[in-house]
Structure 1
Amino acid sequence: MITEHTRVLVNTLPQTDTSSDSVSYTTSCNMIDKPQSPVLTDTLLPSSVTPLARPHLAQKYYYLLDNYEDKQFNQPYVESKPVSLAVEAAVAIVINGIHYAVLMASPSQLEYLAIGFLFSEGLIEHSHELLDWEVTHLTDIASFQSFTPASTDDSLLFESLSEHLLDYDTYVVELVLNQRCHQRIQAQRRQLAGRTGCGMCGITGLNQALPDLNLYSQKMVDTQSAKPSLDYLLNIRTQINTTQHTHQLTGAVHAAATMQAEKLYLFEDVGRHNALDKLIGWQLRHKRKVECVVMTSRLSIELVQKSIRIRLPWLVGMSAPTSTAVRVAQRYGLGLAGFLRDDRVTYYSGI
């Protein structure tokens, strides 16, 4: 049986991200400071090792437009055909042996997701604080058992749950942080059951959910002079539309994108907050300065909090921001814009 198990040092950049059923994958060893071309989208990866979408047979019922008004006299047309569905995986984050979080995410670019998530959680400040990691794809009962505590009660519980667990794509990301970071984990240890649509689910305590971000404030920065122009943003939107291939296949994933030297860097995920974490992880890993990030989603509070932590000057969404997102962005000096459409954008802060 081919196992899907890899060990990645922090100073490596994978050639491929994660693997699909019964496919192994490898990594290369490139130092962080060495010039390299990071993986931008799944189109650069072999389709056999990119489990971002899977085919599924579906039935489409519809009326022809010409006969729509007379539909009470007609039966709808039925079309059976395979469609592509976005893969939504459970990604368990284990930090220094502590089961810290479960994220529902697209199972790609997990190294960037891990770094960005740790930074957004306030557990690391620099990528070098992550000493080592190991990614395991749980594909059968035996692999699930290897991550189940050996106590009798847990074993009995596992036996009753094991069959339904196989319905899920499940990955375990084991991370090793330095001692200083480990102390931070112990200070705010919690269990988090993440949901695709919300990056704050499971957080206990208002201080964790609504943190004081004054340390990251950019109020002294003149965001007015750095406001991205409409033409610049429309150019990014056009490139996103042509580059976001997983969304074109499935219609079910978000993207976070930034422009560097006229080159688009795009990160997709079923969760908008995960997509932004992947971009943040890439930024930290490659020590890039990012001036503007465009999200294909609405701008909710968790995206604003992540952007403030990374000291991002501008966050732009293709949909609207929430009122809380605008208030928090204004408080900490984050430029915020939304409704980026084919011919317009609306600025909410930094104006």
Structure 2
Amino acid sequence: MSLGSSPPIIESAASDEEAARLCYEDQRQRPLREFEGPSELPITLILNDTAMATLLATPESLEALAIGHAYTAGWIERYEQIERLERSRLRHGLAIRMTVPPRLAAQAAEHAPREASVSSCGACGAAEEAQIMAGLVRLRTVPPLSPVALQRGLALLKDHSRRGQHCALGLDDSGEVMSVGVDIGRHNALDRVIGDSLRSGEWPRAVLLSSRCSLELVQKTVRAGITTLATLSSPSAMAVEVARACDLNLICCHRGSRLELLSGQAPD
């Protein structure tokens, strides 16, 4: 460019016409009752007289959530150890009180997080790494759910999904739905499926989740003895590492576009 020539014209990111169309829709005064998003409340889980955890969860089917969380957290070893379930209202949320033998309550309280967790993730607030890794064992070696069955489950996942919430499906050998867990938290959705399985005594062949896979999803699935876990998007590296150590069949479905077997046994 020679001296005295005009500088180049740098075009803006959006033309004036486009800029006129780009604006925020002001909803700041919209009444809360008009919002259609998923509901959530703080749900406090109590063993006997001890508050063990507070989860942000969808306030539906809370008994299944409480049972599943108590089992995957290691508070109980089987459903029959819960002598009574009671639901009550707190100032801002709800409480689920589980009455168990005093020995179990004392053991659970001894290993409980030192800080309360207001989260859909039960591992948040854990005082020690060992608490997160608790319950990890090597599963019996079985092939994963067949790709045909998993594709059937993926199709059914769309039917059970709700906007703004995670969905967990317990699937049988053919990919048909045995149990459904829907919640704003993916960990809570899985706990609901596990809780229903504990109550019914019928366990799924696989669990399919509408989320990415984190370490705690692997931990909960392994503790429940379910041998196949499939999620829609990519897992964390630690989730894969632990899944491989436990012989869990971990599958990434890539939103249904392709199926990746990341750990476990070779298909039949």
Question: Fold-level match, TM-score > 0.5?
Answer: yes
The worse-fitting range, judged by mean Cα deviation, of 292-301 and 92-101 is 92-101
Q: CA RMSD in A?
A: 2.4
Asked if 1:71 is matched to 2:18, the reply is: yes
- For the structure 1 residues 176 and 212, does the alpha-carbon distance in structure 2 shift closer, same or farther, using more than 3 Å as the test? closer
Counterpart of 2:97, as a letter, is E
Q: Residues 121 and 188 of structure 2 are in contact (CA less than 8 Å); yes or no, is this contact kept in structure 1?
A: no
CA deviations on 1:64-106 (whole Å, 9 max, x unpaired) are xxx9994135464859795411111100111110111111111
Output the CA distance in 2 between the equivalents of 1:237 and 1:318: 9
- For residues 38-77 of structure 1, the aligned pairs below 5 Å read 70-74=17-21, 76=23
* Matched pairs, number: 245
Q: 2:131 aligns with which of 205, 208, 211?
A: 208
Q: Paired residue for 2:234, among 317, 320, 336?
A: 320
1:340 Cα shift?
4.1
Distance (Å, rounded) in 2 between the aligned partners of 1:329 and 1:133: 33
Structure-1 residue corresponding to 2:9: none
Deviation at 1:210? 2.7
Of the three residues 141, 146, 150, the one matched with 1:222 is 141
- In 2: Cα distance, 1:212 partner to 1:110 partner: 23
**TM-score, L = length of structure 1:** 0.64
Residues 120 and 188 in structure 2, CA contact (< 8 A), matched pair in contact too: no
Q: Structure 1 residues 234, 96: CA separation in 2 closer, same or farther (over 3 Å shift)?
A: same
Q: Is the 8 A contact 1:93 1:102 kept in 2?
A: yes
Aligned to 2:79: 127
Out of 270, 274, 280, the position equivalent to 2:188 is 274
**Do structure 1's residue 89 and structure 2's residue 1 form an aligned pair?**
no
**Deviation of 1:264 (Å):** 4.8
Pick closer, same or farther for the CA change 1:183–1:340 going to 2, 3 Å.
Answer: same
Q: TM-score, normalised by structure 2?
A: 0.83
Q: CA deviation at 1:332?
A: 1.0
Q: Is the contact between residue 91 and residue 172 of structure 1 (CA under 8 Å) also seen in structure 2?
A: yes
Partner of 2:169: 257
- For structure 1, the 5+ residue unaligned runs are 1-66, 139-143, 145-167
**Partner of residue 101, structure 2:** 178
CA distance in 2, matches of 1:338, 1:102: 30
Contact 2:82 2:98 in 1 (8 A): yes
Q: Distance in 2 between matches of 1:335 and 1:77?
A: 45
Work out the CA distance in 1 between the residues paired with 2:51 and 2:138: 31
Within-5 A mapping of 1:332-347: 332-347=246-261
Unmatched runs of 5 consecutive residues or more in structure 2: 1-13
Question: Separation in 1 of the partners of 2:88 and 2:247?
Answer: 40
